[in-house]
Amino acid sequence: MVGKTRSVLFRNRDFALLWSGETVSLLGSEISIIALPSLAVLVFGEGALGVGLLVALQWIPFVLLAPLMGVYTDRLRRRPLMHLANVGRFVTLGSLPLLAALDHLTLTHLYVVAVVKGVFDVVYQLAYQAYLPQLLERQDLADANAKTQLSRSLSIVFGRSAGGALVAATGAAKAVTADALSYLLSSLALLSVRSPEPAPAPARRGLAATLEDLRGGVRLTFDNRLLRNLTLMAAFGNTAVSMVLAMVIVFAYDDLGFSAGQVGLALGAGGVAVVAGAVLSRRITAALGLGRSLIFTHLVLGLAFALLPVADQGGKTFAIVVLIASQCVSSFTVPIANVGIMTLIQKSTPPQAMGRVGGVALPFVWGANALGPLLGSAISAAAGTPATFLVATVLTWAATVWIVLGSVHRLADDVPEELRVAV
By the 8 A CB rule, do 58 and 117 touch? yes
Residue 6 has pLDDT above 70, yes or no: no
The whole-number pLDDT of residue 10 equals 64
> Which pLDDT band holds residue 270 (cuts at 50, 70, 90)?
low
The whole-number pLDDT of residue 154 equals 79
Query: What contacts 33, CB < 8 A, 6 or more positions away?
Result: 159, 160, 163, 245
Residue 190 has pLDDT above 60, yes or no: yes
| Mean of pLDDT values over 231-249 | 88
The whole-number pLDDT of residue 7 equals 40
CA pair distance 132, 127, nearest whole angstrom: 9
First to last CA, the chain: 31
> Which pLDDT band holds residue 9 (cuts at 50, 70, 90)?
low
Cα maximum dimension of the chain: 64
The whole-number pLDDT of residue 218 equals 83
CA pair distance 176, 271, nearest whole angstrom: 20
**Amino acid, res. 66:** A
The whole-number pLDDT of residue 2 equals 43
CA pair distance 40, 50, nearest whole angstrom: 7
Residue 93 has pLDDT above 70, yes or no: yes
Residue 1 has pLDDT above 50, yes or no: no
> Which pLDDT band holds residue 11 (cuts at 50, 70, 90)?
low
> Which pLDDT band holds residue 161 (cuts at 50, 70, 90)?
confident
Radius of gyration (Cα) for the chain, nearest Å? 20
| Mean of pLDDT values over 370-396 | 89
Q: Is the dihedral of CA 288, 294, 297, 302 positive or negative?
A: negative
> Which pLDDT band holds residue 131 (cuts at 50, 70, 90)?
confident
CA pair distance 346, 354, nearest whole angstrom: 8
CA pair distance 399, 239, nearest whole angstrom: 10
By the 8 A CB rule, do 406 and 236 touch? no
pLDDT, one tens digit per residue, over 318-366 is 988 898 889 888 888 888 888 888 888 888 888 778 888 888 887 887 7
Q: Count CB-CB contacts under 10 A for residue 1.
A: 7
What one-character DSSP code corresponds to residue 149?
A: H
What one-character DSSP code corresponds to residue 199?
A: P
Residue 96 has pLDDT above 90, yes or no: yes
By the 8 A CB rule, do 69 and 188 touch? no
The whole-number pLDDT of residue 4 equals 45
Q: Count CB-CB contacts under 10 A for residue 234.
A: 24
| Mean of pLDDT values over 272-288 | 82
By the 8 A CB rule, do 237 and 396 touch? yes
Q: What is the 3-state composition of the chain as percent helix, strand, coil, each rounded to the nearest 5?
A: 85, 0, 15
CA pair distance 186, 87, nearest whole angstrom: 9
Residue 400 has pLDDT above 80, yes or no: yes
Residue 103 region by backbone torsions, left for phi larger than 0, else alpha for psi between -120 and 50, else beta: left
> Which pLDDT band holds residue 303 (cuts at 50, 70, 90)?
very high
pTM (whole model) above 0.85: no
**Amino acid, res. 254:** D
Q: What is the DSSP string of 232-299?
A: HHHHHHHHHHHHHHHHHHHIIIIIS---HHHHHHHHHHHTHHHHHHHHHHHHHHHHH-HHHHHHHHHH
Q: Count CB-CB contacts under 10 A for residue 212.
A: 13
> What percent of the chain is modeled with pLDDT above 90?
20
Distances (CA, A) of 380 to 34, 237, 267, 309, 311: 19, 19, 20, 12, 16
Residue 205, helix vs strand vs coil: coil
By the 8 A CB rule, do 419 and 348 touch? yes
pLDDT, one tens digit per residue, over 34-52 is 888 888 888 888 877 788 7
φ, ψ for residue 206 (rounded to 5)?
Answer: 105, 165
Most confident listed range (229-238, 257-266, 335-344): 229-238
Whole-number mean pLDDT of the chain?
Answer: 84
By the 8 A CB rule, do 231 and 368 touch? no
